[in-house]
Every structure is written in C-alpha cells, then in structure tokens.
C-alpha cells in the first residue's frame, strides 16, 4: 500500500510537471509569436504618431466601436456619411459565410465634428467594397452583385433591395468589383481588376451577358446601359473635373486611362499588342518613404524569394519596404477646405507602408496623359506617414465640408493569406484588429474649431441645384448634377443653358453641358459652341459629345490641330466613330501632325476608316510615303496586318495593287513591310486552313528578296 501511494504521488507530480512544461511551451511559443508584431494603439495615441510633410494635422471623425473595419465612405445629398465595414476581410471562406459586412450611417448630432451615432443601414453582406448614393438609396458593390438598397420608411435602415447586376468575380477580395464612382459624364464607373465574369442586368434580362474579363465596368441606370471599361483598376479610382480616370493597383500607385476601351474594341481586327489603353504616369515609382517597421513575415518572405531568384540566376530583386506594394484608395481631392494648391491632387494610401502619398498632376505637351509628381516638400518623405504599423489607409473621401478624410481599417495584418507562406501564417493573427477602425479628418495645421456643414440638397428646388453647380467644392457640384439627372426636371433647362453660355469657370460650364446631356436636350449648336471653348477640358468633352451629331464633323476634323494634345487626341479617337471614309483625310492629317506618337497611331488604327484602303489613299496625298521613318514603317505594317486579318478580298486586292504603285515601291522597304504585315494579319485569322498557312510562309520568305513575285503570288492566292 505504501509503495502504491508513493507511485500515485509520483504520477500526480509528474502530471503536474507535464502540464507545467506544456503551459511553459505554449507561453514561450506565444511570446515568440507576439514578439514579431507590435500591439495596437488607441486612436489618440496613433494620431500622435502621424508626421506630415507640411502644416497639417489630423482630427478624429469616428473610431471603434462606431466603425469597425472601415474601407470606404460616401456622403449622400443630406451630408450623411455612409461607411463600408468589411468585417469579413481576410477570413477563411467557411467563416465568411456568416456574411458580417455592414453599411453604417454616421451622424454628428452635436456638431462637434466627431460622429456620435451609427445606424446600421444594411447588414448581412459579404465582402462589400463600396457604395454610391442614388435616388434616395445606395448602390452597393458586393460580389457577385451590384445591388440597390433603399430606406423607404425613414428609420435609417434599408428595407428595399434590388439586385441590379450579377455575375462578378467572387475570389480574392482584393480583386473584386469596387469603387463605385459617379463621373462628370453621367456614367457610374467601377474597378474590376480585369477579373472574369459574365454580367447580367436584371432590369433587362434579355440583354446579352457581358464578358468582363480583362476590363473594368461602367453603367447608366437612367438609360439602362452597361459596358466594359478600360482597366484593370484595383482598389482606388479617381475621376477628375474633366473626366480623366486614374486608378490604383498595389505596386502601381497611379495609372491613367489614356484610351477608353470602347474605341479599341470597335476594331476587332487590331492585334492585342496594339491595344494599349493605360499609362503608368508616376515619375517616381516605385519608391515611397516608410516610417513603420518592416513586418517580420514580409522580410522573411522577401529574403526567401530573393534567395530563389539568385539560385535560379534570375535578374530580379524584391524589396521588403520603401517600395509601393499595397497602394490603395487613390482619390482626387477637389474640396475647398485645404489650401488651393492641393485642389486636383491625388491621394493614395499604401496600407503596407502605413502612409499617405500625394501626387501632383501636370499636363504633358507631347503626350495625351498627365504626369504625377511629388510636391517640393515631399521629395524624400510622404504627405503623411506613421510608425504605427496598424495604420491602414484603405481609402479617402471628401464631402460637403471640403476636408480630406482618411479611412483607416486599422489591422495588425492587411495582406491576404493567399500570398503568405503557410509556416509564416502560423505566427500571424489575421483577425487582430477586427473590432477596430478609425476615420480621420485632415485639416490645415492652423485650423480652428470644426464648423459643421449640413447640406439639405434632397429638399432643394431644381433651380437651387442649378445654382449649386457653381460651388467651389466639387462634392456639391457633382451631387447637384446627379440629383438633376435623377429628377429630369426640364423646367431648369433655360437656366442650365445660360450657365453654360455665361459662366467664367470652365468647370461650371462642363457640369452644365452634361446636365443637358443627361436630360437629352443637347443639340449640335451647343456642342459646336463647346468645341470652341477656351478650356481644353471642355473642348475635349465636346469632342466626345460631337460623335452624336454629324453636323459637328467638319469642326471635329479641325480639332486634330488643337493646341492641347489631349484635345487633338480625343478628336482623332472621335473621328473614328464616323463609319464612312470621309474622315480618312482628317485621320491622315492627324498622322502627319502627330504620327510619331504611339498613342495617335493606335487611335487612327482603332477605327474602321483608319485601318482600311481609304486611309492609304489619303496618306498618298500627304508626306507619309516621302521618307521611311521607323514609325511610318511600323504603322504601315500594322495597317496591312489589320487588312489581312479582316479578310475582305476586295480590300486585300486593293492593298496588293497599292503595293505595286510607285509611291510605295519608291519608299525604301515599305513594299516588303506591307507584304509582311498582310501575311501576319492573315495568319491571325481563326481556324485558318493549314495548307494556306504553308503557302503564306513560303511567300513571306521570298518577300524580302523578290517583293514583286510575292505580290503576284498573293494575288493568285486570293483570286481563288
């Protein structure tokens, strides 16, 4: 018995020791894991760490528990702030099925500049990314749908729901439909990251499905229109006063849409390599200036990748910090509360670097796009940065008070687990911070106490909305334009026309022009007047609108010589909307003036008139074939390529006849170039007969040494 008691005592002691050792292991493992990553700060503590390049400061607008995991914010016509709470972000799919995302309406009832009330407008959502006010409700993007929600009984909570569009990509949340934005042209734009999707519009169920792969998305509910748009934009979409679109995508923090997709897709025979549509306009990529520490997981992953690059003799280097990797939420600031020199600048967060970057946009005399530059005091620092690595500036907003708001998701980790090795994931808590979130208002450093601005545009008369089109804060102008579009109150048309004719501010004139467009009251005379406007931005938009009026064609042809290169470029694109060959001489003239520019060459080729025999005839009357500059050879080869791919025997026969004419024969190398382009274009024809391919190869090989024989062989081939 005594031995048995001793054994039991030893067993109990051993069990206690084992439990102690296990607990010690767990504690040590926990300490080791937590040592890699710092903890959160309170909103007030975090704000104290903010460092601005110039005299600005941050004020708290809202924090947890009023907002949790905020990623975007929009104001409705009454100044209510609607915040998207992406609570589901970075959770496993099994957990996301709970659908915990929300839209909350924030109110500042006591007018102190800080939200004190949050009303849940809609919940039970999955991976909602953005909202847009429309007809007293909200359009909500939450893949696979874009849905319209409305509060019909005035309690602040949506009780009406209509799925507008469905079929959007539902994979990685960083690539889903997002950034609903109302543009100056009355279209609503959204970024889609180029993801696949077959989109249907439930108000027109018989309409063909729209294949969205490789594109972004835009639509008009007032006209039941929807179509592909130039992309691929990720999280961040800025549309400036003149309708220029800029978007954000991780390591590329600012790109501009140069060519709208509708122009490139009108010519299905143009090869994909000739269909460039966007430009990285930063003159300082990829560098940023980070204050926060490099996360442990990122440094380890970067070291591993660089080791693999070295091992495989690849000329590649990955950087763990000070390079844009999490650029997000690019937003154009067009408010009236910050210094005037900040108007029109684009602000972008880098959620990986815990910073806010500012780009100053400037036109380029030789290119149809802008260049994005750093400010003079931001050459070696950012507009705002912090050492608080939990600060995650997902997006920005500017509303009725004219200030810039920073939407801080505030998370320990912001990277999708899909891109992190599994062993490193085990040391990370992707849920850390899921009950937090902050929204800051950026104000001048000498700003006094906050003065609330309380719009009531919902109850404004239509005449008052026309007056609001002249507000210095673009939020007011664009909201007034949207409300006039929704109301369709034609009684204000005389006042809108007067605004267009007499306003000294080109921004106001452009709003008036598009209000008339939205009410279907534009005519050729108004557009002609806009085409002669003193502002390049108004002229550029007038060129777009002139596509609807044949009476504007002759004036549009004159605009290819416009002193503003972006206007000349738009005129070249718009000319291509006219189907007959009467515009070919104008397109040839555009080439004569701007042909050395890649974008102009593609603008011409994107059209039917600019990629057919009529253009060759028009080019013969210019200096095009007088020398053999590289760009001319390149253009002529692409032109012949399109004709070959179009596979119209009449056009091919005419091309071959032209290739034998002196004006081409005497242009050194141009004859062989034309043959080469024609054959390459023919080879791109889908399901081309194998025997024909072999014959084309044979002819192509002899074109350089005996172009005349190659032409005769091609004529014989196409005569069959």
Domain boundaries, the chain: 45-259+276-444, 612-720
CA distances from 355 to 84, 387, 442 (A): 21, 9, 13
pLDDT of 14 strictly over 80: no
Q: Which of 639, 548, 545 is nearest to 591 (CA)?
A: 639
Dihedral angle over CA of 471, 477, 479, 485, nearest 10: 130
| Residue 433 pLDDT class (50, 70, 90 cuts) | confident
The Cα 288–Cα 374 span in angstroms is 10
pLDDT attached to residue 172: 76
CA atoms within 13 A on the CB side of 406: 30
Per-residue pLDDT tens over the stretch 32-52: 445 688 899 999 999 999 999
Q: What 3-state DSSP class applies to 567?
A: helix
pLDDT of residue 31: 45
Q: Phi and psi at residue 281, in whole multiples of 5°?
A: -100, 5
Distance between CA atoms of residues 503 and 521, nearest Å? 19
Backbone angles phi, psi at 525, to 5 degrees: -65, -40
pLDDT of residue 23: 45
Looking at residue 253, its pLDDT comes to 95
pLDDT value of residue 138: 98
DSSP string, 366-390: TSSSEEEE--GGGSSS-SEE-S-TT
Q: At what angle do helices 584-594 and 598-605 cross, to 10 degrees?
A: 170
Mean pLDDT of 522-545: 98
Q: What is the mean pLDDT of residues 115-119?
A: 96
Mean pLDDT over 534-553 rounds to 98
DSSP one-letter string for 123-182: EEESSEEEEEEETTEEEEEETTEEEEEE-SSSSSS--EEEEEEE----SSGGGSSEEEEE
If pLDDT is split at 50, 70 and 90, which confidence band does 174 have?
Answer: confident
| Element containing residue 405 per DSSP (H, E) | strand 404-408
Predicted model pTM:
0.92
Residue predicted with more confidence, 552 or 703: 552
What proportion of the chain, given as a percentage, has pLDDT over 70?
Answer: 94
Read off the pLDDT of residues 491-520 as tens digits, 9 standing for 90 and up.
999 999 999 999 999 999 999 999 999 999
- Is residue 332 predicted with pLDDT exceeding 90? yes
Per-residue confidence at 418, pLDDT binned at 50, 70, 90? confident
Q: Where are the alpha helices (DSSP H) in 576-689?
A: 584-594, 598-605, 613-620, 630-646, 649-659, 662-665, 670-683
Q: What is the pLDDT of residue 692?
A: 83
Is 70 exceeded by the pLDDT of residue 134? yes
The whole-number pLDDT of residue 33 equals: 43
Residue 83's alpha-carbon distances to 41, 63, 136, 418, 442, in angstroms, are 22, 12, 16, 26, 17
DSSP lists the bridge partners of residue 84 as 72, 103
Report whether 261 contacts 255 (CB < 8 A): no
Q: Fill in the DSSP letter of residue 205.
A: T
Regarding predicted confidence, which is higher, 688 or 367? 367
Query: At residue 9, does pLDDT exceed 60?
Result: no
What does the alpha-carbon distance between residue 573 and residue 594 come to, in Å, rounded to a whole number? 13
pLDDT tens digits along 304-322: 999 999 999 999 999 999 9
Q: Is the peptide bond before 65 cis (omega within 30 degrees of 0)?
A: yes
Segment 185-204 shows an average pLDDT of 96
d(CA 447, CA 56): 9
Mean pLDDT over 635-650 rounds to 95
In the predicted structure, residue 460 carries a pLDDT above the cut 80: yes
Q: Which of 327, 359, 334, 178 is nearest to 243 (CA)?
A: 334
Give the chain's mean pLDDT: 92
pLDDT at res. 22: 45
Give strand pairing partners of 142.
Answer: 128, 145
C-alpha pair distances (Å), 455 with each of 59, 78, 81, 184: 21, 5, 12, 21
Mean pLDDT value of segment 251-261: 96
pLDDT at 3: 47
| pLDDT value of residue 97 | 58
Q: Under CATH, which architecture does the 45-259+276-444 domain have?
A: 6 Propeller (2.120)
Helix (H, G, I), strand (E, B) or coil at 412: coil
Record the tokens describing residue 451, joined without a space: 């003065």
What is each CA distance from 53 to 42, 312, 377, in whole angstroms? 23, 42, 6
CB 49 within 8 A of CB 389: no
pLDDT above 80 (res 366): yes
* Calculated CA dihedral for residues 619, 620, 621, 624, nearest 10 degrees: 60
Least confident of 14-28, 171-185, 703-717: 14-28
Q: Which residue has the higher pLDDT, 687 or 137?
A: 137
Quote the percentage of the chain above a pLDDT of 90.
Answer: 82
């Amino acid at each position: 018995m005594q031995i048995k008691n001793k054994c039991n005592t030893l067993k109990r002691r051993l069990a206690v020791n084992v439990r102690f050792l296990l607990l010690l292991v767990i504690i040590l493992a926990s300490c080791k894991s937590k040592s890699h990553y710092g903890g959160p700060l309170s909103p007030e503590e975090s704000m104290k760490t903010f460092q601005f390049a110039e005299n600005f400061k941050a004020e708290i607008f809202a924090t947890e528990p009023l907002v949790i995991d905020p990623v975007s914010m929009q104001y409705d016509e009454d100044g209510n702030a609607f915040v998207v709470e992406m609570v589901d972000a970075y959770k496993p799919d099994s957990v996301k099925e709970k659908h915990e995302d929300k839209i909350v309406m924030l109110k500042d009832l006591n007018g102190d500049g800080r939200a004190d009330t949050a009303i849940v407008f809609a919940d039970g959502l999955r991976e909602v990314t953005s909202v847009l006010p429309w007809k007293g409700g909200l359009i909500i993007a939450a893949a696979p749908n874009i849905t319209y929600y409305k509060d019909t009984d005035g309690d602040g909570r949506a009780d009406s729901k209509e799925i507008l569009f469905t079929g959007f990509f539902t994979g990685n949340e960083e690539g889903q439909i997002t950034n609903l934005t109302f543009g100056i042209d009355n279209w609503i734009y959204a970024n889609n990251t180029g993801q696949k999707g077959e989109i249907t519009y439930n108000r027109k169920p018989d309409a063909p499905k729209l294949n969205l792969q490789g594109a972004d998305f835009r639509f008009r509910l007032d006209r039941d229109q929807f179509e592909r748009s130039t992309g691929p934009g990720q999280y961040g979409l800025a549309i400036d006063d003149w309708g220029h679109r800029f978007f954000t995508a991780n390591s590329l923090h600012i790109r501009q849409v140069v060519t709208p997709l509708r122009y490139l897709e009108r010519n299905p025979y143009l090869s994909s390599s000739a269909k460039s549509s966007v430009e990285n306009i930063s003159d300082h990529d990829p560098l940023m200036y980070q204050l926060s520490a490099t996360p442990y997981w990122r440094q380890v992953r970067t070291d591993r990748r660089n080791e693999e690059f070295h091992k495989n003799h690849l000329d590649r280097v990955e950087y763990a910090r000070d390079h844009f990797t999490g650029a997000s939420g690019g937003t154009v600031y067009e408010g009236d509360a910050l210094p005037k020199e900040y108007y029109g600048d684009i602000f972008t967060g880098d959620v990986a670097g815990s910073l806010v970057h500012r780009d100053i946009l400037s036109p380029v005399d030789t290119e149809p796009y802008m260049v994005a530059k750093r400010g003079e005091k931001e050459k070696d620092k950012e507009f705002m940065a912090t050492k608080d690595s939990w600060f995650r500036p997902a997006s920005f907003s500017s509303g009725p008070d004219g200030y810039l708001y920073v939407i801080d998701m505030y998370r320990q980790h912001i990277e999708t687990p899909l891109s992190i090795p599994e062993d490193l994931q085990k040391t990370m808590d992707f849920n850390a911070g899921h009950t937090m979130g902050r929204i800051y208002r950026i104000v001048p450093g000498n700003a006094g106490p906050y003065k609330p601005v309380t719009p009531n545009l919902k109850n404004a008369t239509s005449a008052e909305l026309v007056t609001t089109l002249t507000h210095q804060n673009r939020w007011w102008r664009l909201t007034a334009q949207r409300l006039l579009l929704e109301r369709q109150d034609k009684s204000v048309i005389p006042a809108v026309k007067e605004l267009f004719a007499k306003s000294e501010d080109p921004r106001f004139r452009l709003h008036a022009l598009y209000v008339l467009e939205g009410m279907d009251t534009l005519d050729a005379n108004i557009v002609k007047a806009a085409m002669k406007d003193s502002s390049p931005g108004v002229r550029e938009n007038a060129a777009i609108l002139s596509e609807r009026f044949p009476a504007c064609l002759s004036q549009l042809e004159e605009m290819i010589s416009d002193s503003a290169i972006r206007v000349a470029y738009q005129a070249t694109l718009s000319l291509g909307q006219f189907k007959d060959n009467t515009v070919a001489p104008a397109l040839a003239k555009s080439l004569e003036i701007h042909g050395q520019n890649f974008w102009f060459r593609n603008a011409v080729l994107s059209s039917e008139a600019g990629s057919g025999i009529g253009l060759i005839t028009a080019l013969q009357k210019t200096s095009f074939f007088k020398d053999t500059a590289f760009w001319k050879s390149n253009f002529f080869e692409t032109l012949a390529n399109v004709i070959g791919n179009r596979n119209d025997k009449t056009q091919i026969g005419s091309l071959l006849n032209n290739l034998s004419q002196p004006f081409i024969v005497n242009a050194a190398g141009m004859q062989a170039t034309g043959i080469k382009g024609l054959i390459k274009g023919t080879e791109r024809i889908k399901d081309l007969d194998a025997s024909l391919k072999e014959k084309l190869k044979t002819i192509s090989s002899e074109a350089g040494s005996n172009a005349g024989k190659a032409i005769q062989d091609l004529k014989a081939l196409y005569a069959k």
